[in-house]
Structure 1
Amino acid sequence: MSIYLYDDDDYGLEYSEDSTSEPDVDLENQYYLAKTIKEENLEHAALAFQKVLDLQGEAKGEWGFKSLKQLVKINYQLKNYKETIAKYKELLSYINNAVTKNHGEKSINSILDFTSTSKNIEMLQKFYETTLEALKKAQNDRLWFKTNTKLGKVFLERHEYSRLATIIRELKQSCKYSECDNDPHKGTQLLEIYALEIQMYTEQKNNKKLKELYEKSLRVRSAIPHPLIMSVIRECGGKMHLRSGDYEDAYTDFFEAFKNYDESGNPRRVTCLKYLILTSMLMKSSINPFDSQEAKPYKNDPEIRAMTDLIQAFQTNDMEVFEKIFRENRESFMADPFVREHIAELLKHVRTIVLLNLIRPYSKIKISFISKELGISEEDVEDLLVMAILDNHIHGRLDQVNKILVKGLETCNERYLAMESVANRLNDLSFTIMQERRSYALRNDYYSCMRFKPVHYAVWKENGTCIVAKPLINKALWEPIDRAHSQSGDSSRNNTRTRDCCYCYHVAGRRAMLKT
């Protein structure tokens, strides 16, 4: 038996604005007869709706439009995609003059929503491109925006990011919004564009652009978005935060995304709940996500049962059960690309926690024993121990020859610190010596020139230190100096002070004294 779908045309009739005639009784009767047949047999119903078009003839009217709408949906259900596109093109020719603008827009939206769940991406692309071509003449901005958004989702699904970027630019040009703008319609449209662009950057793992856009989306205040739009933004934000190690922010975003998906009745809520559980384990939280009122109804959901058991084993530190659940559900965990991306990190976190609890009472412990207790290979145990030692979770050393972990090497650490202190002092001493050598080299530069002009100087020295230096023209110049020192009562002058003759050379503009 075929599935009967509720149709907007079942209630109320709309006619073109310039129509004043009653609907044709024969067309009306044939249309409702076809609707009755549709409940029993889709193929027979298609023939009955086609008869409405035949009775209508050349004149395009309301009953022909409704029949075409039904034919599009029936052919889509029968997977006659070629005929679906053909009937849809025929229907689009009615929207300019055969039906009112509102009725035409409502019907096209209904068809686009009806077909949007299709897995046939090529057919969807053809659908949206055909719609956009027809809308060039109709000048329906709302329908143009919605169709372009849906086409963008198709390109996202097909990973055609260059074509998606082109559509995003066109959508942004049509929606000129500023943060001071209070128009809720524009704000909502902008969030739809951001949601599409954020998904693109998430797929490309472009965290820099993603973070910038994510923060912009949270600053849009005037919008009244559908919960589904906010759930997409929050989910992508959670992925961004988790990839950068911001576990708490990731947890908040995934929880908000889950609530929005749940509110809109979207099945992706289960997937988002999986991400929430994954984040909870990575952040080593003792809080069970299923303790919240929103998540509690899904605790025993078959799709999420494995994750529920996994977090219970994690919180009880039961590594054996954890590994068993993971092995039994490995394919289902690995089927999700995002979970697969973080599963290695999760296993490392869990195994490290159990490892640290296991080795706590021991000073020495065999790697084979740890391997048996954790249920993993010795190579994996060694990797965990190395990482734990490097992260300072374990103070000790790994004896890879005897396959033993030796703990409690604080004294060795003190010795290494003392050696480091000595090395630092030697380094300081070396630096001081180098500075002295540089200073000595600079003083020697004064004597290195080949050309100099000699001037005869008399120098008075005290204990080898120069205290008077006068140009020596004749010996008489010494007499005033001698008398000055005699009058000062310095009787030890001859013993402690000496006179020397020096040559002073002007070298490169500087004066240097050499003892003669």
Structure 2
Amino acid sequence: MDDDDADYMQGSDDEDYGFDYSDDDAGDDAGTADVENMYYTAKSKKEDDPEQALKDFRTIVDQEEDKGDWGFKALKQSTKLLFLVLHRPADALGTYRQLLTYTRSAVTRNYSERTINGILDYVGGGKGGPVAVDVLEQFYQATKDALEEAKNDRLSVKTNLKLAKLWLDRKEYNRLTKLLHDLYAATRSDSDSGEEQAQRGTQLLEIYALEIQMHNETRNTKKLKEIYNASSQVRAAIPHPRIMGVIKECGGKMWMGERQWNRASEDFFESFRNYDEAGSPQRIQVLKYLVLANMLTGSEVNPFDSQETKPYKNDPQIKAMTDLVDAYQRREVHSAEKILRDNRSTIMDDNFISAYIGELLKSLRTSYLIDLIKPYTRLELSFLAKQLNVEIAEVEELLIGLILEGRVEGQIDQVGMRLELDRQQVLEKKRYAALEEWTKALESVHTAVLNKTAAGGRGEAMMGLMPERFAGERGYSLDFLA
């Protein structure tokens, strides 16, 4: 029994056929046994004589008076042979269309759905070699027509999602946009029960995941952010973790483009966690993105200290990023550059990572430069360039940025090509700042004492006031004291 037959047996347990057995069943059983023998005989010829196997499968279909499960299985095998072995997609489409007519009553719904999904998987997966776009569209259109006739909306949406993923992989963005419009229309409903709303919410997140990937690939940041925000508003949904992994990964890339490193780090972590839960290999790539974003934040926290990421610290594909984090936290710019040179395949060959390596090295060189100039009052730019292993112009650019940000007190002598540090001025500024704080504190204490003294004086004056005068001023009578 191969996988096809195993699928059938699993599917047959899901529904009750409601057969009524009688004394005439012995003859039917004999006929069924003959068809079964013909089927397995034909299957045995698939590898050695596929053309003869195809003829035998056709004989099974033609001999059937009523559509049944053996005819369905024969058509399934014929479609597979024609598409994957004989490479005749047009003929495979003909047998597939005939197979779809069996899904209405000849086999169980679950078995037919598994068969349809299996055929569409290998048709779109390239297992039978390159397939023309119009052939793919015909396979999916035939499926769509059959499902609409059978009123199987659930499988119809799943099939369209599968086609949308296919168009995304093939970068057929115009076709994908049109299909996404149809998918959004299928999810609009105001009369769903709670369970149906959860199902539609889940489908909506799958659609968002496809569209957000399209906008990420086409660099449409505005639409990407719009879809990202819309996905955050979906509440009634139970999405597969892989779907949330995709959405959060694209969100992280979006934040990276806006240089919001902290938000990018948060989204990459959520993406990694979801991919890890789904068992997706994409978790390794996203973990690299997480490490990159974490370093760009300037955080001293090692991203591999968390419980979720720690098991991957020594993974061969991650080891280079682990070493890069160590070099970054030690401010060893030369070690970081060497790691990047020696591990080009695991780091620099990724277009997304390579786009931000310059930013990372700039951050690392800036930190290294600040530490380097601390003991000095005057340094030659050529000396700094040699220490950083960069051009003098780049050192000058880094120093200008630090001076403008107030992180370095000094000025650049562009004639002598020197950095002059204002150590004395820095000390004086600190001294004056301390005196100013001290003065403010004394003024605060002085004001508090004056207020307390004034309040105490008013109280004593009130206590010394004659009762008659006090009462007269207020218009009170003191006759009751007489």
List aligned pairs for 1:109-508, cutoff 5 A.
109-113=117-121, 117-118=125-126, 122=131, 126-127=135-136, 129-139=138-148, 140-177=152-189, 182=194, 183-408=197-422
Q: Evaluate the alpha carbon distance shift between residue 287 and residue 143 of structure 1 in structure 2; reply closer, same or farther with a 3 A threshold.
A: same
Q: CA deviation at 1:301?
A: 1.9
The one-character-per-residue Cα deviations of 1:462-489 (angstroms, maximum 9, x if unpaired) are xxxxxxxxxxxxxxxxxxxxxxxxxxxx
List aligned pairs for 1:30-49, cutoff 5 A.
30-32=38-40, 37=44, 42=47, 48=53
Q: CA deviation at 1:268?
A: 0.8
Q: Evaluate the alpha carbon distance shift between residue 74 and residue 137 of structure 1 in structure 2; reply closer, same or farther with a 3 A threshold.
A: closer
The structure in which a higher percent of residues are strand is 1
Q: 1:63 aligns with which of 49, 70, 75?
A: 70
SS at match of 2:102: coil
Q: CA deviation at 1:274?
A: 1.0
Question: How far apart, CA to CA, are the structure 1 residues paired with 2:224 and 2:399?
Answer: 36
- Taking only the aligned residue pairs, the percentage that are identical comes to 42
Q: Which residue in the other structure is 2:113 paired with?
A: 105
Normalised by the length of structure 2, the TM-score is 0.74
SS at match of 1:345: helix
Q: Evaluate the alpha carbon distance shift between residue 7 and residue 357 of structure 1 in structure 2; reply closer, same or farther with a 3 A threshold.
A: farther
Q: CA deviation at 1:272?
A: 0.8
The one-character-per-residue Cα deviations of 1:272-328 (angstroms, maximum 9, x if unpaired) are 111111111111112222222222222222222222221121112111110001112
SS at match of 1:212: helix
Counterpart contact for 1:81–1:123, Cα < 8 Å = no
Question: How far apart, CA to CA, are the structure 1 residues paired with 2:343 and 2:326?
Answer: 15
Q: Evaluate the alpha carbon distance shift between residue 78 and residue 166 of structure 1 in structure 2; reply closer, same or farther with a 3 A threshold.
A: same
Question: How far apart, CA to CA, are the structure 1 residues paired with 2:319 and 2:238?
Answer: 35
Question: How far apart, CA to CA, are the structure 1 residues paired with 2:424 and 2:78?
Answer: 81
Unmatched 5+ stretches in structure 2: 21-27, 429-482
Normalised by the length of structure 1, the TM-score is 0.69
The one-character-per-residue Cα deviations of 1:29-81 (angstroms, maximum 9, x if unpaired) are 3444566x59xx84557854652333332535322322343454566665937
Counterpart contact for 2:57–2:78, Cα < 8 Å = no
Question: How far apart, CA to CA, are the structure 1 residues paired with 2:134 and 2:424?
Answer: 67
Letter of the structure 1 residue corresponding to residue 8 of structure 2: D
The structure in which a higher percent of residues are helix is 2
Question: How far apart, CA to CA, are the structure 2 residues paired with 1:277 and 1:162?
Answer: 35
Counterpart contact for 1:235–1:253, Cα < 8 Å = yes
Counterpart contact for 2:385–2:395, Cα < 8 Å = yes
Q: Evaluate the alpha carbon distance shift between residue 10 and residue 300 of structure 1 in structure 2; reply closer, same or farther with a 3 A threshold.
A: farther
Greater gyration radius: 1
Q: Which moved more, 1:42-51 or 1:256-265?
A: 42-51
Q: Which moved more, 1:330-339 or 1:240-249?
A: 330-339
Question: How far apart, CA to CA, are the structure 2 residues paired with 1:263 and 1:114?
Answer: 26
Q: CA deviation at 1:377?
A: 3.1
Q: Evaluate the alpha carbon distance shift between residue 176 and residue 270 of structure 1 in structure 2; reply closer, same or farther with a 3 A threshold.
A: same
Q: CA deviation at 1:411?
A: 6.0
Q: Evaluate the alpha carbon distance shift between residue 45 and residue 190 of structure 1 in structure 2; reply closer, same or farther with a 3 A threshold.
A: same
Letter of the structure 1 residue corresponding to residue 7 of structure 2: D
Q: Which residue in the other structure is 2:447 paired with?
A: none
Q: CA deviation at 1:4?
A: 7.6
Counterpart contact for 1:177–1:187, Cα < 8 Å = no
